[in-house]
């Protein structure tokens, strides 16, 4: 097989959905804004970007599954923030969210970029939402763009 990788371009008619939790709004809003700017900066018209807000990270996979089943989006970008607390609730939410997002991607053959932060402290989240570690919303949007370009090539064997 030839060397294949995606480019940061989407078909002109491609729609993208950003599915984001409302929990930890200061962090998640920065992720959403960065993802939106990144898509637009790579040629996706603002009118072709849907933003779906859900209560928390736990609800993100279900919303992604519903969007994937409905069709119409080239990729989904999941954004949220789960911060470790004093109980095991953190593991349940973060792990099941990631598993749910992977299941949506595999079941529907649709790129689902996981930008749901799972961090130890609020400072870690700030570092990943525009701080010293960049912005994971941007990274998730770039991954979605690349996979949107790559998957058709993998399915059709086009190596151009």
Of 89, 92, 122, 133, the catalytic one is 89
CA 53, distance to chain mean position in Å, is 13
Cα Rg of the chain, angstroms: 15
Helices 89-108 and 60-70: angle between axes, nearest 10 degrees: 10
Instruction: Measure the CA–CA gap between 155 and 31, rounded to whole angstroms.
Output: 31
Count the neighbouring beta carbons within 10 Å of the beta carbon of residue 6. 20
> Is there a catalytic annotation at residue 89?
yes
Residues acting as catalytic residues: 89
């Amino acid at each position: 097989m030839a060397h294949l990788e995606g480019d940061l371009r989407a078909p002109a008619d491609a729609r993208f959905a950003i599915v984001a939790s409302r929990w930890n709004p200061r962090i998640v809003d920065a992720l959403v804004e960065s993802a939106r700017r990144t898509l637009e900066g790579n040629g996706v018209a603002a009118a072709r970007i849907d933003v779906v807000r859900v209560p928390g990270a736990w609800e993100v996979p279900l919303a992604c599954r519903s969007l994937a089943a409905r069709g119409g989006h080239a990729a989904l970008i999941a954004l949220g923030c789960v911060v470790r607390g004093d109980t095991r609730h953190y593991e349940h939410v973060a792990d099941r969210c990631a598993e749910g997002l992977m299941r949506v991607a595999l079941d529907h053959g649709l790129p689902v970029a996981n930008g749901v932060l799972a961090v130890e402290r609020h400072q870690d989240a700030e570092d990943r939402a525009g701080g010293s570690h960049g912005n994971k919303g941007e990274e998730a949007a770039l991954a979605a763009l690349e996979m949107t370009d790559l998957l058709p090539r993998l399915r059709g064997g086009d190596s151009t």
